Amino acid sequence: MPLVLGSRIGPYEITGMLGAGGMGEVYRARDVRLDRQVAIKVLPEHLSQDRDALQRFEREAKAVAALSHPNILAIHDFGSDHGIVYVVTELLEGRTLRERLGGAALPWPKAVEIAIALAEGLAAVHAKGVIHRDLKPDNIFVLSDGHVKILDFGLAHVQVPKPEEAVTVTQPAMVMGTVGYMSPEQLRAETARAPSDIFALGAVLYEMLAGRRAFGGGTVQDALSAILRDDPPDLAGLSTPIPGDLARIVSHCLEKNAGERFQSARDLAFALRTVASGGSVSRRAPEVIDSIAVLPFVNESRDPDVDYLSDGVTETIINCLTQLAGLRVAPRSTVFRYRGRDIDPQAAGREIGARVVLTGRILQRGDTLVVGAELIDVALESQLWGERFTRKLADIFSIEEELASKISESLRGKLTRDDRQRLTRRSTDDSEAYRSYLRGRHAFNRRTPDSLEQGLRYFEQAIARDAEYALAYSGLCDSYSVLSYIGVMPPWEAWPKSRDAATRAVAIDDSLAEAHASLGSVCAFADWNWSEAEREFRRAIELNPRYLQARTWFAFQTLAPLGRFEEATVQVRSALEGEPLSSTLNLHAAMVALQQHRTDDAIEYARTALELDPGFLFAHVWLGMAYEHQRQHDAAIAEFEKAMPPLREAAPGWQGLLVHALARANRRADAEMILADLRQCARRRYVDSLLQAVAHVGLNQHEEAIDCLERAADERSALLVVGYPVLDPLRSHPRFIRLMARLRLPPDPIAVGAG
């Protein structure tokens, strides 16, 4: 029964009907929480009652929702309400390709442009192990601005064909898809793989070029027979000629034998771009350059103050290239191992496993910037491209955009409009604000008390230049948050500023993953609002799955404190798969492991972080805590003492860990002396009360420890959320249980995780 206008399904208000079909009705709706327009597909009752169909639908919806690609319909939500099962997607304005065609052909350049977008979307989907199985003009949407979206991923598993397209087979397996676009192997009820979708894309491209179906026929049986045995009419006979290479690409897509087609959508996209740029394509799939390492640009100015610029340009190019579908870009943590080293680019490329390597040099002379770069084919030991740019420092944007575009064209041929827009998207148009932001991130990434405060000042300078600079607000929020977390800045000063900055960043650019992750940290650490924290972290991951810090923050700031250890581990592993050589992500992994009492893993992760960054203070801190949990007190003391010299002045509370370790090592007099000094210090300046509590636990002064914890809650200490294992002796204490209830956290996450 159709839904009534104005009615609610979950948090969505129905505002109009968009269409109906075998898969149910589609409605326009308003998300009342976010006040945004969405589309809702309501599944028909017979599917809503099919448990297996629902499980498949949920599994596939999750797989597609994890994708983030401009040519794929975004899934926002799915669920059920009073027995009505629904899926929520972005709302599209435009028309389907079927409606766009209207039985007529498209100009071949436009057909190729659409086909490239489809191939790039399929490449992203196939990379996640998802096969569409029902690509056809009806499932392709052309937006009003010309962008292309692929619809209905995964629904082929439960889709009911239209009566005129229904297929009956005697095999045990079920044929899924639409006759006229299904591959021969699908008709034979064999497993559909990537070449099956490529066959369908070839049939769609044929129809766009010819204005008629490749395998239309008169009846369903005629179409079945044609797909299995016949080639479609030759495209060379069209009234409007098309390039010969384009006709060969279509034929190659429509090979009867799946092994003789393009084997990946990336290959197909490359071939189509070559045709679009006027190049030549062989009948076989061309060799595709699918991986690149951007080595750190060398600062030839010999001025350390220019390091921020060489590092910033490197990171910007990396981030730009990750926008290209089908291109694996070595992460920052991998390539920055080579920073400051005299290396052979080809040897580095072989070590990293990248087909091509980009090297670059930067020289700043006054307000003039000279940037040289070259792209090297590691396998062929040859230069693919090289150029030198001389610009004013204020024109840094044009250098970065030109670099990204020329590198991309060298790898992929002529860029589509979507590619060019992604590569040239700016967060600010003020080059001075941008340089201040780069300085801020350069300082923030060093993660020392002094560098964090320095980074904060640079972010403030960026915002002073551009009050609408969302990335700078996100950086400002992160600076305040970390300064509070490590005990340099009192939380009652830091959290209001952090919250304001994060809220401002989201208000300026709701599509910025960094902004939502920053706000998630505030919701967790300052507000103890776990549902909002989870929503913000998941939104950040949805917007940019490659912003891996959002995953580890989500893990140790929200999931682990709630005892959801399995989910936390999944997020950590996903992050480390993307950047295994990141010292920060390895530290976060150590924190999550220790939150679960997996001390061996915590030690391994912390040691890895220190191998990657020997000066990483907090890797020593967490390694020491892991040793303490294993009762290796002397080893713990050694690690804490390595971290204390810079922390003792900037954040003296961390000496509480040393007090705990000394007390447990039967050095009570030393422990009490340091604790007395810490109490004196707390009368003059901020000392994190939780760390004072840790000291009292080491001395078996439990009531005094809980006094400190209650004060830490009043102060909104972020450390209270993380849940240090050294607090385990207090977890059954009635006052501690009441305190955790105040935070809306379980008193013992380990017990929750085990249950």
Distance CA 550, CA 572 (A): 10
Backbone angles phi, psi at 738, to 5 degrees: -65, -35
The separation between CA 677 and the C-alpha centre of its own chain, rounded to angstroms, equals 45
Q: Strand pairing partners for 298?
A: 361
SS (H, E, C) 513-555: HHHHHHHHHHHHHCCCCHHHHHHHHHHHHHHCCCCCHHHHHHH
Do residues 712 and 734 make contact, with C-beta atoms less than 8 angstroms apart?
A: no
* Residue in the structure block whose two tokens are 């008193």: 747
Catalytic residue of the set 52, 77, 81, 134: 134
Do residues 477 and 460 make contact, with C-beta atoms less than 8 angstroms apart?
A: no
Do residues 506 and 519 make contact, with C-beta atoms less than 8 angstroms apart?
A: yes
Q: Strand pairing partners for 371?
A: 362, 389
Distance CA 75, CA 152 (A): 10
* Structural tokens at position 39: 């589309």
Active site residue 134: yes
Do residues 620 and 638 make contact, with C-beta atoms less than 8 angstroms apart?
A: no
Provide the total of helices (H) and of strands (E) in the chain, helices listed first: 33, 15
* Structural tokens at position 662: 């000394």
Distance CA 540, CA 536 (A): 6
Backbone angles phi, psi at 383, to 5 degrees: -85, 125
Distance CA 534, CA 133 (A): 33
Do residues 477 and 498 make contact, with C-beta atoms less than 8 angstroms apart?
A: yes
SS (H, E, C) 299-322: ECCCCHHHHHHHHHHHHHHHHHHC
Q: Locate all alpha helices (DSSP H) within 413-490, ordered by sequence.
A: 417-423, 431-444, 449-465, 470-485
Do residues 321 and 257 make contact, with C-beta atoms less than 8 angstroms apart?
A: no
Q: At what angle do helices 633-650 and 655-664 cross, to 10 degrees?
A: 160
Query: What's the Rg (C-alpha) of the chain?
Result: 29
Distance CA 301, CA 305 (A): 9
Looking at the annotation, which residues are catalytic?
134
